Amino acid sequence: MKDKRVLIRAAAGVLIVAAAVLYLVIRPAVVRSRIEKDFTPSDLEAKTQYRTCSSMEEMDLSKFSSWLGLAVALPGGEEILEMTLPCDVTYYTMENGRRKEALKLSQGTIIEIHRYENNLGRDFQGYPTFEKGWRYVRPFRVIGSEADEQYYYVRTNVLERAVRSYLRAQNETAGNRRMNLIESRDAVYRAVRYIDVVFYHEGIYCSPDLTSYPVVQ
């Protein structure tokens, strides 16, 4: 009898683990399906570049300025803030359909963030690309150097790591309580995907980097 109870408990444990794994596997696909279902593409010509262009390089990003406006200032007290990169940030160009490393800012590099400047397309706030996990952005400004106005490809998770470090530092400087895991995750998600959310609601593009439903502005 005891052995039977042990077997039943073991089987129940296996079923619970299997159900949890299945949920983690299926849930992202279900969420993504709902995001795509609710997206309504706009027929305005100026909003169709993601459908008519085959690469980011073909686009005239200035045509999106009417809908993007100015980004909300990032948290912090000073107009220009210094930040130490918590990881290497590698930027790529696209050549013959392949990404090629073009610029690398090493971990520990000191960069400057201009909080009240329109940072759309720069620093953390890159444009969504045609591939999940990649952004199209002008690079961080190394302190004492001129701003690089060229656009590059960079991994989404690298920008997330950088903005997480930035938000943590500003939160500590302000003497605020430390954000919990959910608050931190949501703040990072919104900071990196600001453009994606605007594009979604304007009918411009349903970014593959949108993974949270509903898509809230």
7-34 pLDDT per residue, tens: 566 555 555 544 444 444 567 788 899 9
Distance CA 63, CA 68 (A): 10
DSSP assignment of 9-66 equals HHHHHHHHHHHHHHHHHHHHHHHHHHHHHH------GGG-HHHH-SSGGG--GGGGHH
Q: In which order are the strands placed within the sheet that holds 141-142?
A: 80-84, 110-114, 141-142
Q: What is the mean pLDDT of residues 61-85?
A: 76
Has residue 157 got a pLDDT over 90?
yes
Q: What is the pLDDT of the chain when averaged over all its residues?
A: 83
- Which pLDDT belongs to residue 4? 63
Q: From the CA atom positions of the chain, what is the Rg in Å?
A: 21
- Which pLDDT belongs to residue 187? 85
- Which pLDDT belongs to residue 22? 47
- Which pLDDT belongs to residue 31? 85
Highest average pLDDT, of 94-98, 153-157, 190-194, comes from: 153-157
Confidence of residue 52 (pLDDT cuts 50, 70, 90): very high
Angle between helix axes 156-173 and 181-192 (nearest 10 degrees) is 120
- Which pLDDT belongs to residue 15? 52
Q: What is the mean pLDDT of residues 58-82?
A: 76
Domain ranges of the chain: 39-201
Q: Write down the pTM of the prediction.
A: 0.83
Cβ distance 121 to 153 under 8 Å?
no
Q: What is the mean pLDDT of residues 151-169?
A: 93
Helices (H), the chain: 2-38, 49-52, 65-68, 156-173, 181-192, 194-201
Comparing 45 with 107, the larger pLDDT belongs to: 107
Beta strands in 96-166 (DSSP E): 98-105, 110-114, 127-128, 134-137, 141-142, 152-155
113-129 pLDDT per residue, tens: 876 666 788 888 899 99
- Which pLDDT belongs to residue 81? 81
123: alpha, beta or left? (left if phi > 0; alpha if psi -120 to 50): left
167-203 pLDDT per residue, tens: 888 777 655 556 665 567 888 898 899 999 999 999 9
Q: What is the mean pLDDT of residues 147-158?
A: 96
- Which pLDDT belongs to residue 166? 87
